[in-house]
Chain A
Amino acid sequence: MTSKSSNNWGILAQYEDPAALTHACEKVRDAGYSKWDAYCPFPVHDLNEAMGLPRSKVGWIVITGACTGLLIAVLLQWWTSAVDYPITVAGKPFWAWEQFTPIMFELAVLVSAFGAIFGMLALNGLPRLSHPLFDSERFLRASDDAFFIAIESKDARYSETATRSLLESAGATSIELIQEDQA
């Protein structure tokens, strides 16, 4: 590897509007790239399909969390109320599903909420303190009024010239090479 290519993080291309972005994403997807992403200031319909993204896996983490929470609640209450330290309260049975249901519900919700938040963060690779794209002046507009595609040089199909011409032919209004973080 030459020092130049190891410094190159990837390519950033800007598009005019959501329709152009969606169209360009379809082209990048069909060209078989895998290490790339699209950036826009608001959610764009159909972008998931245009990028060829699979369904998020967060749901499976959430349901695992829900089942775990439910199980913990049952074991916790069964052990404390019916086995280890049974106390008669208002003549209620030591073990009854009625009185344990609120805790079962709450713990299932709590652990699945943890699953949703932390699962989402983990799958997104967050938290992350810096990103090479933040060096680009132009990229600031991604949270305002501009639409971008960035393809990483780590992608097996990446080549500075071919990738650039693909993005240009897809209607990019500007193209920028992004360097790796200097530090």
Chain B
Amino acid sequence: MSHASSSGAGALLKGDNITAPKGSTLSMGLLGLGVICCAITLFMAFMNIRSEDAAAHLTGKQALAAFHIGFIITLGISLGALVFVMILHQVGAGWSALIRRQLEHLMAGIFPSVLLLAIPTVFAATLFVPGELFHWMDGHVHDDPIYQAKSAFLNVNFFLLRAVIYFAVWTGLSVTLYRQSLRQDATGDRWITARSRRLSSIGIVLFALTTAFAAFDWMMSLDYHWFSTMFGVYFFAGFAAPALGMLTLVLVALRRAGKLHGLVTDEHLHDLGKLMFGFVVFWGYIGFSQYFLIWYANIPEETSWFIRRRTDLWGWVAVALVWGRFVIPFILLMNRAMRRNPAVLSFVSVWLMLFFILDIYFVVRPEARVGDDGGALFTWLDAVGILGPILLFLGFLIRRIASSPLIPVNDPRLAESVGHKNFI
């Protein structure tokens, strides 16, 4: 590849152009606000959740569910970044060498940020207030024949063991890939690329299993009567496009700050736009397939989950998801000129993130109820509870972005990525 730009690229690949500003005020502000939001939510959750008063009890459950949603969002974004890093390694992608570092920053959020955010709902709630978030942990349901049939899988010890395994796998993969990439910056050892590729080939398989089972454990089991074998894929399809959107936002923000000039061009953003378009369609396909099979088979155990989500106000949320997560971004990203426009792409990225949150909200929040009473569809505590983990995640992300060069400076495929062009 002998592009005209590669001759002038040497100057672009140095110094200020590939170093992020410290941004310490912004990151400290986000972290401070995030800590306050998390503290309020968890205080409201654990103070109220054992209350005899039904209204207070419900508030506690809702607060815990809101925090859980925020945690799942940060988990989804980092897992999306992890799997794309592994896919790019595995296929030997050249075009993406310049943007891989920012995906790695997102991926590195798994440890320790997302692991810390898992503690309140996955671990603490299970150990100290069992049955409040995951209803099946309540001793009262243990006479339920449906629970008994699933109890070999759905029991607290195995649940906690699985959570430890998931985080061990994700942390192992993301920390290793991140460290190897940074080591290549320092040493220029080309064999690191081959090692990362080899790790990714196993990593993708481990990722698929752990992500699917984590979705079963942490979202599907909230209603332990219900099951959908494609729920794991539904979670993956849900976070793939918003994770790419997050990457797009980071890249556009860095370009706005005068970084990556002449390196990350509209051509790279165009490719991200194509991938986002693809995963928007994929979510529509998986979301419809899951609903359609349950609708057609009409088995009470399966339909109850959707009936709850198609009655009253939740029915409108379901309609909003169809339009907001599929139809509107599908139309916005269909046109080539739109996919190449950084402003449109940023708008779609924020849009997809908001609807990803609504999607997880739609899955998790209806299960926060006392008896059959779910209370208000949305309260201020939901906003605070969801924002807390996300703000903490973003605060740590900004610090990480400033901690290393903005591109993998010694990646052997860098020259292929500089001056990358789309045929169509």
Seen from chain A, the residues whose Cβ lies within 8 Å of a Cβ on chain B are 19, 43, 45-46, 55-56, 59, 63, 90-92, 98-99, 101-102
Q: Quick check: A101 and B288 within 8 Å, CB to CB?
A: yes
**Contacts of B421 on A, CB cut-off 8 Å?**
45-46
Assembly CA distance A179 to B336 (angstroms):
40
Q: Which residues of chain A come closer than 8 Å to B334, judged between CB atoms?
A: 63
* B296 and A98 contact, CB distance less than 8 A: yes
Tally chain B residues at the interface, Cβ within 8 Å: 12
Query: Which chain B residues (266-304) contact chain A, with CB distance < 8 Å?
Result: 288, 291-292, 295-296, 298
Considering the complex, which residues of chain B in the window 410-424 have a beta carbon less than 8 Å from any beta carbon of chain A? 421, 423-424
Q: Which residue of B lies closest to A55 (CB)?
A: B336
The distance in angstroms between the C-alpha atoms of A25 and B142, with both chains bound, is 77
- Cβ B423 vs Cβ A45 within 8 A: yes
Q: How many angstroms from the CA of A98 to the CA of B291 in the assembled complex?
A: 9
Are B292's CB and A101's CB within 8 A?
yes
Residue from A45, A59, A99 in contact with B296 in the complex, judged by beta carbons closer than 8 Å: A99
A91 to B299, CA, bound (A): 13
The complex places the Cα of A43 from the Cα of B424 at a distance, in Å, of 11
User: Which single residue of chain B is at the shortest CB-CB distance from A90?
Assistant: B298
Contacts of A55 in B (CB 8 A): 336
- Chain A residues near B2: list those with CB within 8 A: 19
A103 to B334 CA separation, bound complex (whole angstroms): 22
Identity of the chain B residue whose Cβ is nearest the Cβ of A46 in the assembled complex: B421
Q: Give CA–CA (A43, B423) in the complex, Å.
A: 8
- Which B residues touch A19, using CB under 8 A? 2
* 7 more CB-based (< 8 A) A-B contacts, given A45-B423, A98-B295, A102-B292: A45-B421, A56-B424, A90-B296, A90-B298, A98-B292, A98-B296, A101-B288
Chain A residues in 8 Å Cβ range of B298: 90-91
Could you tell me the distance in whole angstroms from the C-beta of B256 to the nearest C-beta in chain A? 27
- Rounded to whole angstroms, the CA-CA distance of A91 and B297 in the bound complex is 11
8 contacts between A and B (CB under 8 A): A43-B423, A46-B421, A56-B424, A90-B296, A90-B298, A98-B292, A98-B295, A99-B296
